[in-house]
Structure 1
């Protein structure tokens, strides 16, 4: 059997995550079945389960993406030299949030992730860790602002 390139594997995974996201946005986590995702992706059962053995694995992948975008923005803001004024740093973070408010934005998924985390202890641990990371980002922004005498 020929080897598949890493790019192909990443594209296939992306195809499945995108299909799951559309399904979850349309029907929610609990009403969406793996069969729905498989049909939406247009792939075989085996192809989907190769990447995601369960719906929980798909939910975790989507949770990672939903929270990951904010982390990227906060990391970029923290790397700014000289440090941005605190108001500007917060404006950039909020500008990202505003880009995610639409019907297909991550905030609709984030709400479902938060809800599902109340039922799934593994997801709850993941969400708690990510929110701790975000809190540390905001604390670092505040400390930098204090260091510049801004606060």
Structure 2
């Protein structure tokens, strides 16, 4: 039997994962069988098992791929020289993703993954580990902003990170439900929340975006 190249292996793996994503989004994890994924993907049952031993392995692979995609966006934000701009970039990039209709299957499956994390230790570790990487990145941005005097010193970086993640998870859930969100308005509100973290120096730097809310004499 001729060997297939690494590129061909990756293409076949992605073919299976794309089919699984559609099946899971449409029918849920528990109502989807590996036979359903085989039919959707067009590969044989034996080929599927060459890549994934169990359905949980497929769920984990989808979660890991999503984390890698999000890690790229997070890296762009963390690379900003100005930490406040990094926070704004993070909100903007993830907001754009929420509004992308091509990602709805991923959002629906992601929400199901949160539920599966209560059942499977492996899925729990993947989900929580992915969120931890994001949380630590946000904490570093906030700490950098405090070091530059742009973010108030009494602010707790971990609390800010957990708040932003919780807000984003809430939006993901609403999008997965099929609700219509005014994402620009939601984005402006999150920016206002970030503005409330700033010192006078930070507001001076971002005067156009975060005007001083104090009453004028």
**Both proteins in one fold, TM over 0.5:** yes
Deviation at 1:118, TM superposition (A): 0.5
* 1:109-120 pair list within 5 angstroms: 109-120=109-120
Q: Which residue pairs with 2:69 in the alignment?
A: 69
Measure the CA separation in 1 of the matches of 2:86 and 2:52: 40
Measure the CA separation in 1 of the matches of 2:65 and 2:99: 15
Aligned to 2:43, what secondary structure does the other structure show?
coil
After superposition, give the CA deviation of every residue in 1:77-122 in whole Å (9 maximum; x if it has no partner). Answer: 1122354525523433432442456673422111111000111111
After superposition, give the CA deviation of every residue in 1:23-64 in whole Å (9 maximum; x if it has no partner). Answer: 001001110000000000111111111001110100001111
Measure the CA separation in 2 of the matches of 1:137 and 1:93: 15
Measure the CA separation in 2 of the matches of 1:4 and 1:102: 30
For structure 2, list consecutive stretches of 5 or more residues without a partner in the other structure.
Answer: 152-217
**Is the counterpart of residue 12 in structure 1 residue 18 in structure 2?**
no
Q: Which residue pairs with 1:91 in the alignment?
A: 91
Structure having the higher Rg:
2
Partners of 2:73 and 2:93 within 8 A in 1: yes
Partners of 2:117 and 2:124 within 8 A in 1: yes
Measure the CA separation in 2 of the matches of 1:122 and 1:91: 29
Deviation at 1:144, TM superposition (A): 2.2
Q: Cα distance 1:86–1:150, how it changes in 2: closer, same or farther (>3 A)?
A: farther
Q: Cα distance 1:138–1:104, how it changes in 2: closer, same or farther (>3 A)?
A: same
TM-score, with length taken from structure 1: 0.88
Partners of 1:67 and 1:110 within 8 A in 2: no
Partners of 1:86 and 1:150 within 8 A in 2: no
Deviation at 1:16, TM superposition (A): 0.3
- Measured on the aligned residues, the alpha-carbon RMSD in Å equals 2.0
How many residues are treated as equivalent by the alignment?
151
Q: Quick check: 96-105 or 75-84, which moved more?
A: 96-105
Structure 1 consecutive aligned stretches of length 4 or more whose deviation exceeds 6 Å: none
For structure 1, list consecutive stretches of 5 or more residues without a partner in the other structure.
Answer: none
Q: Which residue pairs with 1:146 in the alignment?
A: 146
Measure the CA separation in 2 of the matches of 1:99 and 1:24: 21
Q: Which residue pairs with 1:23 in the alignment?
A: 23
Whose helix proportion is higher, 1 or 2? 1
TM-score, with length taken from structure 2: 0.63
